[in-house]
Structure 1
């Protein structure tokens, strides 16, 4: 960070404003991406990896032949892509025409996972896997190295802008070079429909529907000028929502067409210039001119669907149950993707970020009303679109293989990380923002945390049965934040004390395994496989613990029988942390390892907790903690916030280790990481409240 641009001489208000203005300028709005998706061939399954069992896909392939798997990956910058391969037989991996990795005899025999870091250039990258057909197997599973990491591949340009990986017909010999020109000469599967046809076969789209059932088909066209058009179809037509037939006058611009057709009748449709002749091209209403698919198709319906609404965010009821839009051909769908990492997403760092924003909005109502209005509008957009797409995401999971590109955490819910932080923030924001339909998500989060999340015999949360195998049979101090703030708000939402009892229970259970009495700090993780606590006082881990305890103390009744014990833990943790604050007011990545870097998110968490403790009289002697909060915020302004609104020095998301050096040397800070933006805003707000 350029120290000349630090906010050292600015107020907390000015510092928070700089962060918020930058964040909103970059992430204030967003939209979803739609792509064609073929549920046949090679696609992602419940484990988020692509499954290519070529013995099933190419049953007549001879032993000794080869098949090429071809996909592309778009990289924002030159980087490496962590890539898992589970081979069924020999596999070679080519990236941009260069052989980069491959299976070995051990992974082939045991079908065990190999992990490679594949080099990616900025822009489009060609990924080609060459699979050999052997008596031991043919094909592989590949893609993300850990479950729920939602990266995906796109088909090469010979396919119309869709997700997935295509595969070649069996080849007797290998290509001399694995480049795009050579690959294009092969015959590729799965087959695409005939886009040149002037008719639509609905029986191909709905092969199990009866001929007298109905479908709704929508498409669009563009009139280059005001004109008369001849519309010809054997289906009932609506132009821009109005029933039409024959010749109609249209304005220049884009127009929507909706057709109501019997599934047994092949749909015919043409639009011609009534005066000059010539056909107007049909385009898909969402996919546009660059995509060969032209129609979005809903059905089947037992009777003609009256009042059917054309919308692309939620599934709809059909005679087969809930469904979404189909495209031409069999097993082909319109699919929704969220390619905007910081808008409309649901994950725990964003949950903290939005919590910081809503508290800043409340502080700014008097200090900067205009910016407060902007924050309010942004929060409502982000939260409402997250709510509105949940039903689609759950349908997508059930219908399209299990790996979703919208709400991928809530659809693969198996941990507190997936739901608690964002669920807590959703309840917090719902207090004073007009959100509709959020109750379904809150119910899902509440059921998981209260009834589904694995627990020890004493009721303490721990991690097991996860898609992320590395976390198996562990307890993380992080999970205090992933559960307790939600439980505190869930108690008020339900009007029940039981979630608060559960929240209090967690602190005693976690302390039993993670609290280090001699240091008055929390170990990051307890490993039940080895029956050891890692013994590392990770900064943000202790921040999660102390901040979450402050959340509970804010709402726990003064007369609660466990309150005094919880206050004692709060004071002990505060004391253990405060003694490790450095001269600049910062706390370090490993709290008792001063040579580790100054870490911003834990510094902000301690500042928040100290302020709450002072303001609410939780300390026997509050002045040291008042000064600790002040020093921490001064340190953040000097070391972590610049005049452009950047946030510096925030540790990225972690795994765990029994070595301090992992945290100090491998878990390095990232610029504008969402693990820190929100909590720093909360700290600045707490500092203002402290005055």
Structure 2
């Protein structure tokens, strides 16, 4: 009968289900992650600049007293939005008040400001509230007083949950619906909502501000004229659509219309119409293949009215119908050039561009970068007042940029290479490239709108967590397959680490601020992983040794502050506020140190002046860690406390480092470490990986404490935590490589004493 292991019954363990094949175990872990997180692009939505702007902390700055100066003291205003949740969950929010405020979630009061909140607009009040699977209605109630009306509202976790909301009456658009000033407070049951409860009597249009719309005078100016009202004579704008045919094979058709301004039309990059006169009729005979063709209208402003009207159809006369497909007249038409939530017509618009700086029409049919140069760069717009297209990452995982996913993707990439299965490596490369190719756009987006809809951690870097881990994985993927935007993103990261990240006078990287007060003025051993692997790989990319030198020096500096010479392991954190280390050897923090040191040593020239000291440091740490390995082959959450839980991520990093240390000849007693590495990998397969590829026993993201009880009892493990999936894969790959190395060593007739004694 199978026995119960700490995380699951041994009958569920993958160890007994692979026929001794490590490849099967690796494929199960990588395949489970990929299956759970399919490739999905960003969602593109319309956004009105007339709405409330998000700040760098991703909260909306709702300044109703500025927007509606006519509001009187004592009057109420309401703003309403919808927020989608994939599952029932609890979400952190934050509010800073310009006056009294109440937050309603699905018609229930979730937060009400107090007297202190109401008069300190820079103070952040945090609260958590339950949200249901599906749509949730958020209604903010504000009261006008002498201090103002409104507040700064949004996420309480900018790093982990940078939420954006949708306008409930402008389907698909980001933003809020805003009420008119109200003399009487609305009752909860009167609030708008979609939960089927309450009367929702205040959903009527008379209670709310009207949505932005063109005036009759603006409509007369033509579509380019109203969208690009500030364009000068001689400047160029573009409209983009798809010409779609459902007929088999090619179909003959015609484009018909009129234009105001000098006009050209391009079909799949080829000009099919060009006018030299400033306006008039537009006609072109074309052949349309099955499917979607890219159609661009290019127009130069020549007068007050500026635009075009265009249709596609089978001509009535003067055009041979030989070979024409039956029903083709109904089967050719325009469709949106890209799915954009909230778009109600089949056109997008870009411009204006000054003469000589206009982009090539054939290079416009893309959604991943701004167009133009310098301060005149722009992106796609809709035919609505001040309304733009923006991408938003709404996937739980795929395409997200954060540090745990960096090591996850590094592991999946290496798994594909180790197994000779390119689909794993391609998945990792595609995942990373979704961020890297949007880097240029995300920087521009943040400049325009305050907080970007994608890549928020990379774009708004303010810590090593934001950049180093994922950046290192990006550079590994870039070596495998050149990634769009990778080198620009890497330069952005290198500039931050080398020139902006806080350092002590001796150059030590440290945290001068943090998402919580206790993180201020601290040195975390984790940050060796958040910095040095990237610096090593960036030195390789650029050929600049200064980056590798910086990485090497950090290990020597961190050793001075965090090393425990009696145990030959590391403290988790050095707190500069107390001028002492915290005294707790947290497993994963120590794992990051040793893992990162192997990355450095593997790339470091043998002649480097710091290499002897770093090899010695590596050996000392390995000696400390190998003594603490548990009977089951695993290491513990608190390394020196065998009563703390067996932790998978630190075990994986010690396996990884020991195996590399043996293969690369860094360790003086290789047999001892080979045995420990292989035992650790077997322990992971038996006790932490189930037959479905789920990974157990990975500590969740940590804070820090001077108390070991925090790490042991409060810092719990999570199923399939991304802090551990990739490093488990890397451990398995290195164990596999170690096994091959030991076999090859035997075949080569190595002397037994080469491996020393166990």
- Asked if Structure 1 and Structure 2 have the same fold, meaning a TM-score greater than 0.5 normalized by the shorter chain, the answer is yes
Structure 1, 138-147 or 293-302: larger mean CA deviation: 293-302
C-alpha separation in 2, matches of 1:280 and 1:613: 65
Structure 1, 548-557 or 112-121: larger mean CA deviation: 548-557
Cross-structure match for 1:185: 204
Among residues 5, 9, 13, which one is paired with 2:12 in the alignment? 5
Among residues 351, 358, 371, which one is paired with 1:299 in the alignment? 351
Among residues 440, 449, 455, which one is paired with 2:497 in the alignment? 449
TM-score, with length taken from structure 1? 0.91
From the superposition, tell whether residues 26 and 431 of structure 1 become closer, same or farther in structure 2 (CA, over 3 Å).
same
- Check conservation: 1:33, 1:339, Cα contact below 8 A: yes
Among residues 197, 206, 215, which one is paired with 2:228 in the alignment? 206
C-alpha separation in 1, matches of 2:192 and 2:485: 49
Residue by residue over 1:210-254, the C-alpha shift from the partner in whole angstroms, topping out at 9 and shown as x without a partner, is 244221112346667779677333254637445354486767865
- Compare CA radii of gyration and give the structure with the larger one: 2
- Check conservation: 1:86, 1:142, Cα contact below 8 A: yes
1:126 deviates by: 0.6
1:484 deviates by: 1.3
Please state if 1:344 is matched with 2:384. Answer: no
- Check conservation: 2:220, 2:305, Cα contact below 8 A: no
- Check conservation: 1:152, 1:163, Cα contact below 8 A: no
C-alpha separation in 1, matches of 2:446 and 2:458: 10
Give the alignment of 1:253-272 within 5 angstroms.
257-263=295-301, 264-269=304-309, 271=311
C-alpha separation in 2, matches of 1:380 and 1:486: 17
Secondary structure of the corresponding residue to residue 582 of structure 1: coil
Please state if 1:156 is matched with 2:211. Answer: no
Cross-structure match for 1:233: 258
C-alpha separation in 1, matches of 2:343 and 2:220: 16
From the superposition, tell whether residues 642 and 149 of structure 1 become closer, same or farther in structure 2 (CA, over 3 Å).
closer
Residue by residue over 1:304-325, the C-alpha shift from the partner in whole angstroms, topping out at 9 and shown as x without a partner, is 9473222211111169521111
Please state if 1:650 is matched with 2:698. Answer: yes
1:141 deviates by: 0.6
From the superposition, tell whether residues 273 and 157 of structure 1 become closer, same or farther in structure 2 (CA, over 3 Å).
farther
C-alpha separation in 1, matches of 2:342 and 2:391: 17
Cross-structure match for 2:437: 388
Structure 1, 374-383 or 186-195: larger mean CA deviation: 186-195
- Check conservation: 1:7, 1:15, Cα contact below 8 A: yes
Taking only aligned residues, the RMSD between alpha carbons, in angstroms, comes to 3.0
Structure 1, 256-265 or 76-85: larger mean CA deviation: 256-265
- Check conservation: 1:84, 1:113, Cα contact below 8 A: yes
C-alpha separation in 1, matches of 2:72 and 2:517: 36
From the superposition, tell whether residues 319 and 460 of structure 1 become closer, same or farther in structure 2 (CA, over 3 Å).
closer
Cross-structure match for 1:321: 376
From the superposition, tell whether residues 485 and 251 of structure 1 become closer, same or farther in structure 2 (CA, over 3 Å).
closer
Cross-structure match for 2:279: none
Residue by residue over 1:367-422, the C-alpha shift from the partner in whole angstroms, topping out at 9 and shown as x without a partner, is xxxxx221233233234333321111111111122x11222112101221122112
Give the alignment of 1:119-134 within 5 angstroms.
119-134=130-145
- Check conservation: 1:74, 1:123, Cα contact below 8 A: yes
TM-score, with length taken from structure 2? 0.83
Give the alignment of 1:545-624 within 5 angstroms.
545-624=593-672
C-alpha separation in 2, matches of 1:501 and 1:229: 65
- Check conservation: 1:222, 1:253, Cα contact below 8 A: yes
Residue by residue over 1:2-45, the C-alpha shift from the partner in whole angstroms, topping out at 9 and shown as x without a partner, is 53221123332221121222233344533221000122231311
Q: Runs of 5+ in structure 2 lacking a partner?
A: 1-7, 194-199, 274-281, 317-326, 740-758
Structure 1, 536-545 or 380-389: larger mean CA deviation: 380-389
- Check conservation: 1:601, 1:651, Cα contact below 8 A: yes
From the superposition, tell whether residues 129 and 282 of structure 1 become closer, same or farther in structure 2 (CA, over 3 Å).
farther
- Check conservation: 2:409, 2:428, Cα contact below 8 A: yes
Please state if 1:355 is matched with 2:404. Answer: no
- Check conservation: 2:417, 2:425, Cα contact below 8 A: no
From the superposition, tell whether residues 77 and 150 of structure 1 become closer, same or farther in structure 2 (CA, over 3 Å).
closer
Secondary structure of the corresponding residue to residue 47 of structure 2: strand
Q: Runs of 5+ in structure 1 lacking a partner?
A: 366-371
1:610 deviates by: 1.3
Give the alignment of 1:522-537 within 5 angstroms.
522-537=570-585
1:291 deviates by: 3.5
Give the alignment of 1:364-513 within 5 angstroms.
364-365=419-420, 372-401=421-450, 403-464=451-512, 471-513=519-561
Structure 1, 536-545 or 104-113: larger mean CA deviation: 104-113
C-alpha separation in 1, matches of 2:175 and 2:223: 24
C-alpha separation in 2, matches of 1:128 and 1:183: 12
C-alpha separation in 1, matches of 2:655 and 2:520: 32
From the superposition, tell whether residues 188 and 218 of structure 1 become closer, same or farther in structure 2 (CA, over 3 Å).
farther
From the superposition, tell whether residues 52 and 683 of structure 1 become closer, same or farther in structure 2 (CA, over 3 Å).
same
From the superposition, tell whether residues 278 and 423 of structure 1 become closer, same or farther in structure 2 (CA, over 3 Å).
closer
Secondary structure of the corresponding residue to residue 52 of structure 1: strand
